[in-house]
Structure 1
Amino acid sequence: MSHDNLKVFPSVRERYDSLVQAGDIAADPAQEQLADRFDRLIRELATKRLATKSSALGWLFSRRSPRHEIIKGLYIFGEVGRGKTMLMDMFHQLVPAKRKRRAHFLDFMADVHERINAHRKAHKNGETKQDDPIPPVADALAEQAWVLCFDEFTVTDIADAMILSRLFRALFERGVVLIATSNVEPDNLYRDGLNRQLFLPFIDLLKTHVDVVNLDARTDYRLEKLNRMPVYLSPLSDATKQGMDEAWHTATEGAAVSEDHFKVKGHNVMVPRAARHAARFGFADLCSKPLGALDYAAIIARYQTIFIDDVPILDYARRNEAKRFIILIDILYDHHVHVVISAAASPDKLYEAKRGTEAFEFDRTASRLFEMQSEEYLSEAAQAQEMPISSEA
């Protein structure tokens, strides 16, 4: 197959232009440039893989690139709602590689920690002589996918920060190509984190293996598309509670309601009210308890509609709850879960603190809460309910 034969695959730019022509999005020069950049990356991946394989399709299936060859991925940062995820998803759909993976970054890191813990347990039990879990974990991840697409690349957890440099050095050595979206440029990752100096080598490594692109689009398309639906009720009042109860009755079709309990990594997760495919929580049930990304993923693997009552206005003193709420909304959004929320204020007024990483991160959460009320998101959520959701990353 010649280089020109790659045109048989639809390009990111062609897909983008078709959305513009259909009136689904407005044309934007910055987004057009990024679409073209993704197409150049697809051609570069194809050209370099073809150059190292005797088979014309060998680049799709090779386990790793030669170690001296660096295929630079893309790290796209910019403010919320600029189209980063939309364009990366187009790339992921169109790049003709069978071993590719698209994940929310927090889901991916939860998977990594689970693999590391499993390896350490195997070593302790004498099932392997390899005491360092990073090489075998990197082998398994690279075998699964050599094109990795991450949405919302962010580092706030010290456990993640301390392993990223070694993990990604091993992945890059195995020919993995990284594409990521983020709200922050690489130099601001883990900005106020504990022992940040130990994290800095990862930033240098990252910038060696990706081209950094600032998507400076002209407007927030998510808010342009906003179409408010009765799935976010505020402020808190008797009328709000009645609205939540009516929506719950509709979602459960009057089915019997009961508690649900299940285990995640050895600890118990409790669902206060569950019926059919819907689960209902108070804010405190989800965010005041020591729950994390794996717990939230396990919940949405069991329930397709999530109700969250009584989200309060948060401040710096409740930053741990705010951090859990940020992670929760990221996972609900990424999996297109139908969510009904009652809250003390509109999304952009829910976090009052002006300092700390949570204040910075909450801008994304507010934008997503707005979008989760739109007709488009609700339509995607309805389609997602037709397919099972895996709790695995």
Structure 2
Amino acid sequence: MNQSHQPQTLTEAYLAKIAAGDLSQDPAQAAAVARIQTFADNMQAFWTAKPSLWDRLTRTSPLPETGGFYLHGAVGRGKSMLMDLFYATIAAPGKRRVHFHQFMLEVHSRLHALQEKHVGDILPTLAQEIAKDTRLLCFDEFHVSNIADAMILGRLFTGLFDAGVVVFTTSNWAPEDLYKDGLQRDRFLPFIDLIRDKMLVHEIVSPTDYRYRQAMQSPCYWHPTGRQTTQQLENLFHDLTGGQKTEQIILSVQGRSLTLPRCANDVGFIEFDALCRHALSAADYLEITKTLKTVVIDHVPHFEEADVNALMRFVTLIDTFYEAKMQLFLGLAAAPEQLHTPRMQRKIFERTLSRLMEMQSDAYRSASMPPTRGASAQFY
């Protein structure tokens, strides 16, 4: 292969995708690419620059002029795709891409470990630990939904920036809309100021939701819930497992047990209530992705005001499964776009709806679907 034709920059990689027919021309995306490319060029120059005489004499490391890049916009506008291209084309000395859910789970776990060691000020200590082997940290789907995260992000990010860690993140929310109406939000506001002060903020304003455009004609969900839908899911489960005898799998998650009652051939059949009406978190859903490749979930309900906790767990579940490229089949009370949701959670559910649509696409399913015995390609 002629190496000279391989894309070397974000811009070249983006244009190559357009030329290959993988992407369409989009002025909003092109504007974001141009700004991200400038950011990438500046960071590349910073990371490859030789230390000055003063830096060598004082044994200090210079800090980048910009702490990072905050890319936001409506769901399905290509934010994650652009971050992936940025990550793939930049040569950073210690880079990491991680979903924000997973990162915060790690943060809380490491903070607990530092507390056990009776470390004095644990947040700056953790920031220094992260900075030892990470100079570029890329987050997908940055959002804040609970007070535990909200109260530590400001000091943690201050420590990361002070240690020279560069952060690139995507979000469906502008910085000013993060943790809106959250408990003690006044204590969170300095973090928003920190984002505006330390990071380049860019919004993708595009009328096109590319996840919907990629959705397949054949759905991966059935509705409404009831005997017929359950039977269709059972038939699918039988096809996916090749009729193998099912077994119960018990997972250990942070010292507690999570039971998956019916599993075979890397496929699990689980009721919605078992996954979303108990005190489960992203850690539990991540553990499922390490054990199964495909999950069938029945009896996903309409979400009323009393179901807010179950809805938020369902949102987290979909985020986690999507990031892990899990194959998902659902029995729903109604078509996804017609599921009732409480008013305060509708914007959050827009992302979930978009991801459910993408998870039906040929591209997603071909990347996530494991080989199965006798599985039908036609769904109803």
TM-score normalized by the length of structure 2: 0.91
| Alignment equivalent of 2:115, drawn from 111, 115, 120 | 120
Task: Kindly indicate whether residue 323 of structure 2 is the aligned counterpart of residue 339 of structure 1.
Answer: no
Aligned residues between the structures: 362
CA distance in 2, matches of 1:270, 1:219: 40
* Structure 2 residue 210 is matched with structure 1 residue 221: yes
Aligned pairs for 1:185-224 within 5 A:
185-224=174-213
Which residue pairs with 1:365 in the alignment?
352
Report the Cα offset of residue 282 of structure 1.
Answer: 0.4
Task: Give, in whole Å, the separation in 1 of the partners of 2:128 and 2:32.
Answer: 31
Measured against aligned partners, the alpha-carbon deviations of 1:156-198 in whole angstroms (never above 9, x if no partner) come to: 0110000001100000001111111111100110001100011
Deviation at 1:70, TM superposition (A): 2.5
Corresponding residue number in structure 1 for 2:34: 36
Give 2:358's aligned amino acid.
Answer: E
Whether the 8 Å CA contact 2:293–2:370 is kept in 1: the answer is: no
SS in 2 for 1:228: coil
Question: CA RMSD for the aligned pairs?
Answer: 2.0
Q: Counterpart of 1:204 in structure 2: which amino acid?
A: D
CA displacement at 1:230 relative to structure 2? 4.3
Contact (CA 8 Å) 1:80, 1:220: kept in 2 or not? yes
Matches within 5 A, 1:6-21: 10-21=8-19
1:98-177 aligned at under 5 Å gives the runs: 98-123=93-118, 130-177=119-166
In structure 2, the residue matched to 1:60 is none
**TM-score with structure 1 length normalisation?**
0.88
Superposed displacement of residue 205, structure 1: 0.9
Q: Tell me, yes or no, if the aligned pair for 1:64 and 1:176 is still in contact at 8 Å.
A: no
Q: Which runs of 5+ in 1 are unaligned?
A: 1-6, 55-62, 124-129, 386-393
Once the two structures are TM-superposed, the CA of residue 120 in structure 1 deviates from its matched residue by 1.1
Bigger shift: residues 284-293 or 100-109: 100-109
Taking a change above 3 Å as real, the CA distance of residues 28 and 9 of structure 1, as seen in their structure-2 partners, is closer
Q: Aligned pair in 2 of structure 1 residues 383, 172: CA closer, same or farther (>3 Å)?
A: farther
Q: Secondary structure at the match of 1:81?
A: coil
Aligned-pair identity (%): 38
Code of the aligned partner of 2:41: R
For 2:219 and 2:145, how far apart are their aligned partners in 1? Answer: 33
Residue 98 of structure 1, CA deviation: 4.1
Q: Does 1:179 align with 2:168?
A: yes
DSSP-derived class of the 1:348 partner:
helix
Q: What does residue 342 of structure 2 align with?
A: 353
Deviations 1:300-353 (A, max 9, x none): 111111111110111222111000000000010111111111111111122332
- Residue 294 of structure 2 is aligned to residue 305 of structure 1: yes
CA contact (8 A) 1:82 1:215 kept: yes
Summarize deviations over 1:347-370 as a string: whole Å, max 9, x none: 11223322x2x2220010011111
Code of the residue aligned with 1:191 in structure 2: it is: K
